[in-house]
Every structure is written in C-alpha cells, then in structure tokens.
C-alpha cells in the first residue's frame, strides 16, 4: 500500500472529521493565516531574504507572548497570587528557550548571502523592535533615549511611555518582600520607576534571608529563582544574538546605526535583578 492510499484510507475511516466549512470557521480563518502568511514580502530577489524575514517575524510573535505572560505575572504578584505568577514566569522561560534557538536557523545565512540584500533593509534594524523594548521595560531596564525612536507613531509611543513609567517585574517582587514583612528602604519602594534600578542593601539583605530560610519563605524563594531563570535565558539570547551578528557581518556598523557587535557585547553586562546574582557569593 502506498503512503498516499494509506493516508486516504486512514482519513476515510475517521467518520467524524469535518469537511464542510461553507458556514463554519476554518483553522486558517481562526488563525488569520491569510494575513500572517502574506506578510513576507521580500524587497530583493535574493532567496535568503525570506529566511531573514521569517526568523524576525517569528521572534516578534514569541516576544508578544513573553509580554503577555510577563505583564500577567506582574498583575498576579501585585494581587498576591504567587502560584499563578510562577506558572506564567515558567512559561516565559520556555518561550525564551524557543526564541534562542531561532539564532541557530539564522546562522545558516552566510556573510556573502546577507550582503546580497542587506542594502534593501535601509535603516531598519532589530534595535528598533518596540516589543523588545517593552520586554526590557517590564524587566526594569529603562533608558530614556530609546523612546525617541518611536515618536513617529503616537499610539505606540504612548504605550511605550506608560510601560517606561510603570513598575516592572522586579519592582513588584520587591513590593512582595515588603508585604512579607521585610524592611525595605522606602526610597526603593517609592522610587521613580522610569529611573534605572540601582542595587540596594535592604533588598539584598531581604533576599539573603529568603535564601537562608527557604522553608519559611518558599513562595518568595520560588519567585526569586523564576526571576533568575528569566534573566539567565535573556542573557543567553543576547549572547547568541551577538555571536550570530558577528558570524554574519563581523564588526560592521548595524543597519540602524549602532556599533553592531560592540554594542551587543556591552549590553551583556546589564543586570535586571542585581541582588539575586550578588547574593550567591554570600550564601
């Protein structure tokens, strides 16, 4: 029996399979696949530009889900629902593992192939990804000059500004420490969220107590480790990004005007949850 006849026979035996969709919604309609799959428009005739477009679009979809789960986790922590936040943050880490693997696919693009269509990108660059900036804001990394990139779109700029000025994941985690009775520096609890977070002794001491008394602070301990997971994966994503860029364009200036690899190397030194890393030396 051929594969084709086997497949036909197998389908025929499934009497309950729906085949009439004249008045019913199809899989493609539900997912709006006509819109999604028509969005890969190459600006050059080069075969590999399709790879470049698809990888970045898929990454943006994963980032949308990261934001969906991270923002939900922020609200869960604020409402004291730690167990739900753990599920949401664990999902973020799994998504991050997927988005990291995308670099392996993009790495199949050689320097010679990329140079064939690079000029078609103009000044467009992943540096301008607003969802990536929203993720940075949600994790507490705020830089004011970034907002200028999005002034072209008033609604988008408003969304970014609200996230820029709002509490991030670490801010609500620190609030949870205070709710649990830890004495947190009032300047930290009442700080301007648009300013970059700076390491604080009271926060470090609180996390140290949590790690030294896990049994009594199990929820906070789990929260801390979920945050470490997310930062760890994010740094691995950044590292793979940097190495992929170096592999494809070396140390050329990025299409968006950044220093390319040199810029990507510098951001590897950024910390989102500093006390959770520094305390490991003291435990």
Domains of the chain: 47-281 (1.20.58.480)
What is the C-alpha to C-alpha distance for residues 280 and 283, in angstroms, rounded to an integer? 5
What is the C-alpha to C-alpha distance for residues 216 and 210, in angstroms, rounded to an integer? 8
- Residue 52 assigned as binding residue: yes
**pTM: predicted TM-score of the whole model, two decimal places:** 0.90
> Model confidence over 211-260: pLDDT tens digits?
999 999 999 999 999 999 999 999 999 999 999 989 998 988 767 677 77
What would you measure as the largest C-alpha separation in the chain, in angstroms? 75
State how far Cα 254 lies from the chain centre: 21
Q: What is the 3-state secondary structure (H, E, C) of 118-155?
A: HHHHCCCCHHHCHHHHHHHHHCCCCCHHHHHHHCCCHH
- Residue 145 assigned as binding residue: no
> Model confidence over 103-149: pLDDT tens digits?
999 999 999 999 999 999 888 887 789 999 999 999 999 887 889 88
Is the distance from CB of 160 to CB of 217 less than 8 angstroms? no
- Residue 114 assigned as binding residue: yes
- Residue 221 assigned as binding residue: no
- Residue 56 assigned as binding residue: yes
* pLDDT band of 17, cuts 50, 70, 90: confident
pLDDT given for residue 127 in this prediction: 79
Q: Which residues contact 146 (CB under 8 A, 6 or more apart)?
A: 133, 160
């Amino acid at each position: 029996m051929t594969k084709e006849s086997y497949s036909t026979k197998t389908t025929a035996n499934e009497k309950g399979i729906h085949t009439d969709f004249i008045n019913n919604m199809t899989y493609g309609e539900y997912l709006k696949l006509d819109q999604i799959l028509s969005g890969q428009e190459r600006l050059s005739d080069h075969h590999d530009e399709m790879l470049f477009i698809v990888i970045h679009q898929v990454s943006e979809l994963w980032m949308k889900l990261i934001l969906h789960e991270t923002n939900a986790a922020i609200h869960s922590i604020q409402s004291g629902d730690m167990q739900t936040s753990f599920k949401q943050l664990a999902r973020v880490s799994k998504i991050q593992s997927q988005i990291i693997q995308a670099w392996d696919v993009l790495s199949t693009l050689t320097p010679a192939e990329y140079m064939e269509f690079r000029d078609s990108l103009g000044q467009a660059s992943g540096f301008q990804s607003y969802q990536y900036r929203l993720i940075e804001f949600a994790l507490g990394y705020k830089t004011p000059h970034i907002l200028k990139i999005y002034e072209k779109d008033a609604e988008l700029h408003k969304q970014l500004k609200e996230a820029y000025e709002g509490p991030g994941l670490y801010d609500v985690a620190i609030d949870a420490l205070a709710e649990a009775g830890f004495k947190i520096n009032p300047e930290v609890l009442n700080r301007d969220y648009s300013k970059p977070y700076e390491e604080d002794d009271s926060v470090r001491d609180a996390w140290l107590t949590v790690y030294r008394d896990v049994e009594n602070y199990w929820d906070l301990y789990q929260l801390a480790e979920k945050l470490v997971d997310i930062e760890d994966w994010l740094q691995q994503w950044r590292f793979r990004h940097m190495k992929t860029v170096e592999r494809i364009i070396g140390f050329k200036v990025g299409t968006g005007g950044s220093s390319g690899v040199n810029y990507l190397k510098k951001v590897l030194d950024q910390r989102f949850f500093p006390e959770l890393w520094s305390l490991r030396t003291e435990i």
